[in-house]
Amino acid sequence: MNPISLNSYRSLPESMFTPDIPVATRDPQLLILNDGLLKEYGVADTWFRSGEGLGILSGNAINNENPPIAMAYAGHQFGQRVPLLGDGRAHMLGQMPTANGAVDIQLKGSGRTAFSRGGDGRATLASVLREHIVSEAMAGLGIAATRSLAVIETGDTVHRDSPERGGILARTARSHIRVGSFQYAADKLGDDAVQALADHVIEQHFPEIATEKNGYAHLLLTVGESQARLIAQWMLAGFIHGVMNTDNMSIVGETIDFGPCAFMDEFNANKAFSSIDRRGRYAWAKQPGIGLWNLTRFAETLLPLLSGDSDTAVRIAETQLATFMPAFQAAFYGSLREKLGLTDQSELNKEFADMTLALMEQHAIDMTVFFDTLTRVAGSELDEALLELFGDRAAAQQWLTQWHDLKADDADTAQRMRLVNPVIIARNHRVEEALRAATVSNDLKPLMRLTIALRDPFHYTAGNADLRTPPLPEERVRATFCGT
């Protein structure tokens, strides 16, 4: 029986979505099924491995009792308002009940929709596999994200700069509603639609605020707090989203859309990877500011719901927005202190944390290697393991002496640090290496090996030692692409 049995989005105003049928594929093959995710959900894999399941996930069959839709939304892309975007290459199949609540299942790369704007609606297999790798890496790090449920190779050729193999990703999410969804409702449909959308989000995802005196103000506060925590987690993993447009900001605080995203190697606060982010709008250090900018666009759509008096509505919105940066700072520095093994919450520790980042940047130290090595030094290894990362050992020794004075002095310090300092991240050169093997050599083994390691990134084994190492100069990835 098809487990995708719900479709809560059909309760929204009709203009928020359009019925849309995926385009059939020539010779679909189930390349990857995320058995571990299905186990988390408490859902059997039987249907997904069946002919019926493959037919639905590849677009070659339709569940007439719960037909797919494409969702409408707008957005600010690199600061420029775009009044209509929508799912141009994605189809929402509906929701699947799980042990943790219902989750969306959406197909990406499943063909043209009413929102395709001239595109073919397809995805390359490489881009689909990239999202699979990175979403699994985020989950392994404990960072909220959409998840890859299945990867289907379509048997079709997708034409980009050159002919490429086609793929479809079946991904799950708590919700696919974005800030851009509210912008579309406000611009195109009016206050009643915004209220219907807000009520839907509260009912489905934040029922605890339904009884609040001003639930819409609490919705703004709740969304802001979840985004603040999420961005802090991104940054301390060295993650750069790459396209933090309002249409890529999930209303439930999940990382969504893994196009030109990347994890930093050597620390650089101004680092940006996306080939289309030519001015560094979404660089590592700018992500909190962009998060607040996006949240402000969300607040603008809610103003009519916050109060019938426009001045009062603005004051309420400003009050809620004012909590974002303190929430981010608390999450960021609280977690950074954990990564450094510090327990004291004093201003001195905040200054020391800032000094640590400045030192890493000044000496171009690999972020993951630094914290991994520091964790080992907090345990049984000698200081030399950290000092040898630096060309200027004197500066490193001065920092290390101060760290020894500030760090928590108990037997469990290294163990606590290991819980937040990964050994392995989805390094760009390893991701590209795995994608080349999968799409050029038809060899999935490197990709599966990398993905398995990323699901347990805090655990070192001799078998994954090569996945820890930063890239050689000739292996360095300097720009990432949407690749869709």
Inform me whether the pLDDT recorded for 347 exceeds 90: no
Confidence bin at 97 (pLDDT 50/70/90): very high
Looking at residues 263-278, what average pLDDT do you find? 94
Q: Write the pLDDT tens digit of every residue in 242-256.
A: 999 999 999 999 999
What pLDDT score was predicted for residue 480? 82
The mean pLDDT of 224-245, rounded to a whole number, is: 97
Could you say which of 120, 247, 277, 366 is catalytic?
247
pTM of the model: 0.97
Model confidence over 434-455: pLDDT tens digits? 999 999 999 999 999 999 999 9
The pLDDT of residue 483? 61
| Domain ranges (residues) in the chain | 8-173, 179-250+281-323, 341-484
pLDDT (tens digit per residue) in 81-95? 999 999 999 999 999
Q: Which of 175, 55, 153, 52 is nearest to 109 (CA)?
A: 153
pLDDT above 80 for 484: no
pLDDT of residue 170: 98
**3-state SS string over the chain?**
CCCCCECHHHHCCHHHEEECCCCCCCCCEEEEECHHHHHHHCCCCCHHHCHHHHHHHHCCCCCCCCCCEEECCCEEECCEEECCCCCCCEEEEEEECCCCCCEEEEEECECCCCCCCCCCCEEEHHHHHHHHHHHHHHHHCCCCECEEEEEEEEEEEEECCCEEEEEEEEEEECCCCEHHHHHHHHHHHCHHHHHHHHHHHHHHHCHHHCCCCCHHHHHHHHHHHHHHHHHHHHHHCCEECCCCCHHHCECCCCECCCCCCEECCECCCCCCCECCCCCCCCCHHHHHHHHHHHHHHHHHHHHHHHCCCHHHHHHHHHHHHCCHHHHHHHHHHHHHHHHHCCCCCCHHHHHHHHHHHHHHHHCCCEHHHHHHHHHHHHHCCCCHHHHCCCCCHHHHHHHHHHHHHHCCCCCCHHHHHHCCCCCCCCCHHHHHHHHHHHHCCCCCHHHHHHHHHHCCCCCCCHHHHHHCCCCCHHHCCCCECCCC
Instruction: Identify the pLDDT of residue 344.
Output: 82
199 is catalytic: no
